[in-house]
Amino acid sequence: MSPPILAAPWFARAPVIQRSRQVAAVLAGHGLTSWLDHSGLRRFAPLRRGETRPTPLTQAEHLRLALGELGVTFIKLGQMLSTRADLLPPDTIEELARLQDAAPHVPWEHIEHTLTADLGAPPDVLFASFDRMPVASASIGQVHAAILHNGQPVVVKVRRPGVVDEVERDLEILWGMARWARDHTPFGRDFDLEALVEEFSYTIRNELDYVHEGQNADRFRRAFAGDPVVVVPWVFWDLTTRRVLTLERMEGIKLSDLGALDEAGIRRRSIAENSVRLFARQVLEFGFFHADPHPGNFFVRPDGSIALVDFGMVGRLSERLQLALLRAGLAAIRQDPEMLAEQLYSLGVAGRAARYGPFQRDLDHVLTRYAGVTVAEVSLAAVTREITSLAFRHRLQLPSDLALLFRVVAMAEGMGLRLDPDFHFLESAEPLIKQHWHRRHSLAEGLTRLRDVSADALDFGFELPRRAQRLMGRMERGQLELNVNHEGLHDMVRQFQRMTNRLAMAVVLAASIVALGLAVALGRPQSWTTWADALLTIGFVSSLVFGAWLLIAIWRSRGS
């Protein structure tokens, strides 16, 4: 976990404070004053308040532009927040989904230096040919086409120089913002923003590490081994490091190029069905899924198979989460709002404002609307949007991977509809869901789970007497402690400490001014020297500066 902004020495904090001022200035320039007030960045903003740009843009549009202006970390943050319909209103989610991750090309000299430093030889030696113009350029890295000496076409991803330091500095700012919101705002207390920042930090650090992306690609290739529908590129590990990733080049037609698919004689309906199979196996069978399924990351090969690229962002579903999703699906099929609410409520991290009863009633209304509707008429994306909307309304914070899955569901269904307007995602997925449900509840699976549970119970039974003995011993020695956390007391203590600190500073300032005034009033003794005059002048100036700083601090914190 990253430390707060003010935990490091001043010389280490200087770049972070400078960057905080830049972030605050960009937000203020876009009129996003509420984001300044709810993040603790108000103290870094320019003194003029309430200034907005005279444009007809909405707040959501200004937020998208501001995040794009702030660079890689905030672009990735916006893309992550676009999956969190349980935290942000729909207009903001829709706008953040348009956030593009593009950046200017890195000069060839930097790319050549990185390749030579990491791979041990210049690219002209390592590759038969290497295209100096990038195929694509994003905020973390850019992609070049190349050919190995054996004639194998590859793509080489190279990380941009300096991006790691930039991301780490911005993550430190985000940690400070999350802690400030937790201590000062109702939103920060209702939602676990620190867990959100922790998850985001883990995700973006993995994207910076191309070894991790290569491991994801290998995992997908092993999972889909033998599947004629899915193709995953090979990783060339001898040409891969944390900053360089070399992958087999995938050839084919982009999934979004419908005209090219028709010209090639490839049935779009079969591609849509293959995409459902691809998605269902990832979620139901493997427990991990490609979390960036936009059409540019999928290529259709002449035989109708689908090639995947870009494995930097991957979602994972735990066994508990998979079971809860299956039970929630069963409850929806049975029109059982109580069971559905219980499963969804167990998945979400309920804040203090969350209430179970109203949430169950709203779910009942949703199920009533779908009563008597066939599977072919149900839009899975619409259902997930309604669920996340309810979560937002009832202050339920869904697990990050589940929120990401809901976004992937919407993108996958939209991709299928672009391929075939008559395509029904849920209808195509229903046989796979039933097959997986029967497999999970088969006799063999039940016996396996019973064996595992029995082994755990047996181990716990053997350990229980020893643990009880240790507990009783600690109680007899008076070593057992009870910690009580009083909600709201922490905020009150912080406010009281701030008041007393300012009062003490004001007293010290007043005493300094009085002492300096007395020194002047007593006159100048014969022994008075030039350096004493200078010291007196410095004291007056310091008192004025200190007093001005104290007044500004009190003025800025009046709204907190």
Average confidence (pLDDT) over 464-492 = 66
Least confident of 18-32, 70-84, 469-483: 469-483
Q: Please indicate whether residue 133 or residue 420 has the higher confidence score (pLDDT).
A: 133
Q: Is the separation of the CB atoms in 111 and 104 below 8 Å?
A: no
Average confidence (pLDDT) over 537-552 = 70
393-436 confidence digits (pLDDT tens): 777 777 777 778 877 887 778 888 888 888 777 777 777 777 77
Nearest to 283 by CA among 205, 384, 362, 199: 384
Q: Is the separation of the CB atoms in 383 and 344 below 8 Å?
A: no
291-327 confidence digits (pLDDT tens): 887 777 889 988 888 999 889 888 888 877 777 777 7
Which residue among 86, 170, 190, 292 is the active-site one? 292
Residue 337 has pLDDT above 80, yes or no: no
SS3 298: strand
CA dist 228 → 225, 304, 306 (Å): 8, 9, 9
SS3 422: coil
* pLDDT value at residue 154: 96
* pLDDT value at residue 466: 76
Residue 286 has pLDDT above 60, yes or no: yes
How confident is residue 32, by pLDDT bands cut at 50, 70 and 90? confident
* pLDDT value at residue 50: 46
* pLDDT value at residue 560: 46
Residue 263 has pLDDT above 80, yes or no: yes
Least confident of 1-5, 309-313, 402-406, 453-457: 1-5
Residue 487 has pLDDT above 60, yes or no: no
Residue 194 has pLDDT above 50, yes or no: yes
382-402 in b/e form (b: 16+ CB < 10 A) is ebbbbbbbbbbebbbbbbbbb
Dihedral over Cα of 318, 319, 320, 321: its sign: positive
Q: Which long-range contacts (CB under 8 A, 24 or more apart) does 291-296 make?
A: 291/315, 291/404, 291/408, 293/408, 293/411, 293/412, 293/415, 294/411, 295/254, 295/255, 295/256, 295/415, 295/418, 296/254, 296/256
Q: Please indicate whether residue 539 or residue 242 has the higher confidence score (pLDDT).
A: 242
Mean pLDDT over each residue of the chain, to the nearest integer: 78
Average confidence (pLDDT) over 321-343 = 72
349-372 confidence digits (pLDDT tens): 555 555 667 777 787 777 777 766
53-91 confidence digits (pLDDT tens): 546 788 888 999 999 899 899 999 988 888 777 778 888
Least confident of 210-224, 246-260, 449-463: 449-463
* pLDDT value at residue 283: 83
* pLDDT value at residue 93: 85
* pLDDT value at residue 335: 66
* pLDDT value at residue 517: 66
Instruction: Give yes or no: 420 in active site.
Output: no
Q: Is the separation of the CB atoms in 69 and 53 below 8 Å?
A: no
> Where exactly are the structural domains of the chain?
104-137+140-249, 251-441, 444-473, 494-522+530-559
Q: Is the separation of the CB atoms in 252 and 307 below 8 Å?
A: yes
Q: Please indicate whether residue 125 or residue 303 has the higher confidence score (pLDDT).
A: 125
The enclosing H or E element of 154 equals: strand 153-159
SS3 264: coil
* pLDDT value at residue 10: 36
| Structure-block tokens of residue 534 | 């200078």
Residue 289 has pLDDT above 60, yes or no: yes
Residue 197 has pLDDT above 80, yes or no: yes
158-182 confidence digits (pLDDT tens): 999 999 999 999 999 999 888 888 8
* DSSP symbol at 394: T
47-74 in b/e form (b: 16+ CB < 10 A) is eeeeeeeeeeeebbbbbbbbbbebbbbb
Q: Which residue has the tokens 């600690």?
A: 474
